Amino acid sequence: MSIQRTLAIAKRIVQQFVHDRRTLGLIVVVPLLLLSILGALFKTTRTYQVGFVNQDTGIITQLGNQKLSQKIEDSLKSSATFEWQIKNLESADKGLKNGSLDAYVLLDKNFSRDLLNKKLPTITIQLEGSDPNSSQQVLGLINQNLTNLFVSQKSAKIKVDFLYGGEKFNSLDYFAPVFIAFFAFFFVFLLTSVSFLRERNQGTFERIFASPVNNAELVLGYFLGFSLFALIQSIIVLLFTIYILNVHFLGNILFVFLIELLLVVGSVNLGIFLSAFAKNELQVIQFIPLIIVPQGLLSGLIFPIKSMPAILQWLSYAMPLTYANNALRDIMIRGKDLASVSFDIYILLAFAIAMIILASISIRKGI
């Protein structure tokens, strides 16, 4: 094993990137652009248009006609979650149909009477319903509003506390750590597989394999060269998410890099391994929907693993990105140390070793 030869390969990769400034720029600019879009998407909360139809006729008491629903109406009007529109039933139905309303809340004519007679009053929530995702959000938020209202009527006190995160945490805080890992994994895989394929096709591998360079030096040289760019990318992405997108960060930044480093070792070698099965760059691109997209969908990047069907959960636990995501969320959001994520580290290490073995076996294929 020659350090000189290994470093020569790493240096050559660095030089190639330095000359190829467009690729270099894309490595940094694309993740920042995507994170900015995600940041804007996650930080913008949609204000739902909700109608309020109050048909309550009230109840005659010694104090006159009392409408207990009035308090609800006044309270909901001051809620910031929705834009409330007071409607009659006909205009509310019309609003749902023409898209000006997402839902409406209907209090029937016996609302006050039922409440005073200690019967359960009926509150109807009519949803537009074509988008299940929006429907669930609206329903959840209306329920939350009404619950708060009824609880406050009875003078109960709800105390909310957070083990991790807090009221200021938003979706971007939860997604940023895993996107950092995803970008490193994706770009390093893509660049390694394309670079290796290019070496095979332009004949430089033929020269390398006739030289004193051995498989270990080649794989390590490639890893060092690409890791440098993965590290630079990660630093820029991390600083951007913390200081520009104001993502909350509790953990140790060195732990984040360690997890990324393990992931990148696996990714470089996965790229080397798979490049042996592609004859041209178009075929390498086909590996993206095969290898990268399933990891994006099943690793807990966007969809929670626990809510997946059992078979998909099994698949997600077979993916290295799942463990990187777990570890990075634990470190960045929950402020945990390396010992707490040791299981994820072992799995990432095992993945890296397995990929190194596969890359070493396949490296001379097709030469």
Partner 1 sequence: MDSIIETENTTKKFPPDIYALDSFSLQVKKGITFGLLGPNGSGKTTLIRILVGVLKPDSGKIRVISNSLSWAARSSKIGYMTQSSALYQELTVWENLDFFSTIYGVPAREKKKRIADLLSLVKLEGKEKSAVNTLSGGMKQRLSLATSLVHKPELVFLDEPTVGVDPSLRVEFWDYFKSLNREGTSIVLSTHVMDEAARCNELALLRSGKLLSQGKIEEILSQTKTKNIEEAFLKLESGV
Q: Which residues of the chain form contacts with partner 1 (CB under 8 A)?
A: 2, 4-5, 8-9, 11-12, 15-16, 19-20, 202-204, 206-214, 367
Bridge partners, residue 48, by sequence: 82
Measure the CA–CA gap between 342 and 305, rounded to whole angstroms: 20
Given a contact cutoff of 8 angstroms between Cβ atoms, the answer to whether 104 and 92 are in contact is yes
Nearer to partner 1, 47 or 211 (CB): 211
Specify the pairing of strand 82-87 against strand 48-54: parallel
Nearer to partner 1, 2 or 65 (CB): 2
Nearer to partner 1, 135 or 214 (CB): 214
- From the list 285, 287, 296, the residue with the least C-alpha distance to 320 is 296
Minimum distance, C-beta of residue 234 to partner 1, in the bound complex (Å): 24
Nearer to partner 1, 1 or 310 (CB): 1
Q: H-type helices in the chain, by residue range?
A: 3-19, 21-43, 69-77, 89-98, 111-116, 132-153, 171-202, 204-209, 215-239, 253-275, 281-287, 293-298, 310-317, 320-332, 342-362
Minimum distance, C-beta of residue 184 to partner 1, in the bound complex (Å): 23
Tokens of 254: 């060195």
Minimum distance, C-beta of residue 297 to partner 1, in the bound complex (Å): 34
Minimum distance, C-beta of residue 32 to partner 1, in the bound complex (Å): 24
Minimum distance, C-beta of residue 224 to partner 1, in the bound complex (Å): 14
Minimum distance, C-beta of residue 273 to partner 1, in the bound complex (Å): 20
Minimum distance, C-beta of residue 329 to partner 1, in the bound complex (Å): 38
Return phi, psi of residue 276, to 5°.
Answer: -70, -20
Nearer to partner 1, 200 or 329 (CB): 200
DSSP assignment, residue 78?
T
Given a contact cutoff of 8 angstroms between Cβ atoms, the answer to whether 187 and 266 are in contact is no
Minimum distance, C-beta of residue 284 to partner 1, in the bound complex (Å): 18
Nearer to partner 1, 131 or 281 (CB): 281
- From the list 122, 136, 108, the residue with the least C-alpha distance to 48 is 136
List, edge to edge, every strand of the sheet that includes 48-54.
Answer: 82-87, 48-54, 103-107, 123-127
- Beta-carbon count within 10 A of 305 CB: 18
Nearer to partner 1, 14 or 354 (CB): 14
Nearer to partner 1, 24 or 338 (CB): 24
Return phi, psi of residue 107, to 5°.
Answer: -105, 125
